[in-house]
Amino acid sequence: MAETLRIGLLQGPTGLPADPAASLAALERAAAQAAGRGVRLLVTSEMFLTGYALGATVAALAEPADGPAARQIAAIAARHRVAVVHGYPERDGDRVHNAARLTGPDGTALADYRKTHLFGGYERSVFTPGDRPLAQATLDGVRIGLLVCYDVEFPEAVRAHALAGTELLVVPTALMRPYEFVARTLLPARAFENGLHIAYVNRCGPEGEYDFLGGSCLAGPDGVVRARAGTGPELLVADADMALLRTTREQNPYLTDRRPELYGSLAARRTAR
Q: What is the pLDDT of residues 77-128, one digit of tens each?
A: 999 999 999 999 999 999 999 999 999 999 999 999 999 999 999 999 999 9
Average pLDDT over residues 156-176: 98
Cα–Cα dist 166/221, whole Å? 12
- Pairwise pLDDT comparison (33 vs 208), residue with the higher score: 33
Residues facing 12 on adjacent strands? 203
Q: Does residue 74 contact residue 103 with C-beta atoms inside 8 Å?
A: yes
CATH of domain 4-268: 3.60.110.10
Task: Kindly write down the DSSP assignment for every residue of 195-256, as one continuous string.
Answer: T-EEEEE-BEEEETTEEEE---EEE-TTS-EEEE--SS-EEEEEEEEHHHHHHHHHH--TTT
Domain ranges of the chain: 4-268
Spatial neighbors of 178 by CB under 8 A, at least 6 apart, are none
Q: Confidence band (pLDDT; 50, 70, 90) for 14?
A: low
H or E stretch covering 121: helix 120-126
Catalytic choice (63, 123, 149, 167): 149
Q: What is the pLDDT of residues 190-219, one digit of tens each?
A: 999 999 999 999 999 999 899 999 999 999
CA 77 to chain centre: 17
- Residue 46: active-site member: yes
- Residue 115: active-site member: yes
- Residue 149: active-site member: yes
User: What's the pLDDT at 272?
Assistant: 54
Task: Kindly write down the DSSP assignment for every residue of 74-90, as one continuous string.
Answer: HHHHHHHT-EEEEEEEE
Q: What is the pLDDT of residues 223-272, one digit of tens each?
A: 999 999 999 999 999 999 999 999 999 999 999 999 999 988 777 766 65
Average pLDDT over residues 14-25: 83
Q: What is the pLDDT of residues 40-87, one digit of tens each?
A: 999 999 999 999 999 889 999 999 999 999 999 999 999 999 999 999
Catalytic choice (90, 115, 207, 217): 115
